[in-house]
Amino acid sequence: MPVPVLDAMAVTSSDIPRSLAFYRLLGFQFAEPEAEAQHVEAETAPGAVRLMIDSAGLMEKLTGSVPHPANHASFGLLCETPAEVDRIVEGLVLAGHPVPSPPHDAFWGQRYATVVDPDGYLIDLFAAL
């Protein structure tokens, strides 16, 4: 039986321009959205998992409830090197974003850090040591 393919990952934003600025610091690229955009997607290679950002208002309209990011779920970004993990986290810290788990050499063999986007979504950054 075929297994479904992960095609997209979505987060909800209370302020799309603020979220775009954050995700651009992580290295994602976005076309400049229209002023009142309620949905944006990062530019990706064909077949890659897409990052989607939806406005909190749109998601409330679609689901009937106010969105809340989970505090126990995250998505991970594989970096090429441990130095890249450190560089990205340093840029986020300089921009004032919280880093609940600063870069460290984890016992499982990765340089690992956890950052938080402007709406509270957890993002793990890691690279093989």
CATH code: domain of residue 119: 3.10.180.10
pLDDT at 2: 83
Give me the helix-helix angle, 16-25 and 82-94, nearest 10°.
150
- Assess if residue 114 is contained within a domain: yes
How far is 54 from 22, CA to CA, in rounded Å?
14
- For residue 104, give the amino acid letter: H
Same domain for 97 and 54: no
Q: What local confidence, expressed as pLDDT, does residue 80 receive?
A: 95
Rounding to the nearest 10 degrees, give the CA dihedral for residues 11, 76, 94, 56. Answer: 10
pLDDT of residue 5: 83
Cβ atoms 78, 123 nearer than 8 A: no
Write out the residue range of the structural domain in which residue 18 sits: 8-63
Q: Do 59 and 78 fall into the same domain?
A: no
Task: Please tell me whether residues 58 and 99 are part of one structural domain.
Answer: no
Q: So what's the pLDDT on residue 78?
A: 94
Domain edge (last residue) among 32, 63, 94: 63
- Of the three residues 18, 43, 63, the one that is the final residue of a domain is 63
Does some domain include residue 22? yes
Taking only the tens place, the pLDDT of each residue in 10-62 is 999 999 999 999 999 999 999 999 989 999 999 999 989 999 999 999 999 99
Q: Cβ(121)–Cβ(13) under 8 Å? A: no
Does 1 score more than 80 pLDDT?
A: no
Provide the 8-state DSSP code for 100: S
Is residue 1 in some structural domain? no
Assigned domain for 29 exists: yes
- Quick check: 73 pLDDT over 80? no
Residue 3 lies in a domain: no
Q: Please report whether residue 37 resides in a domain.
A: yes
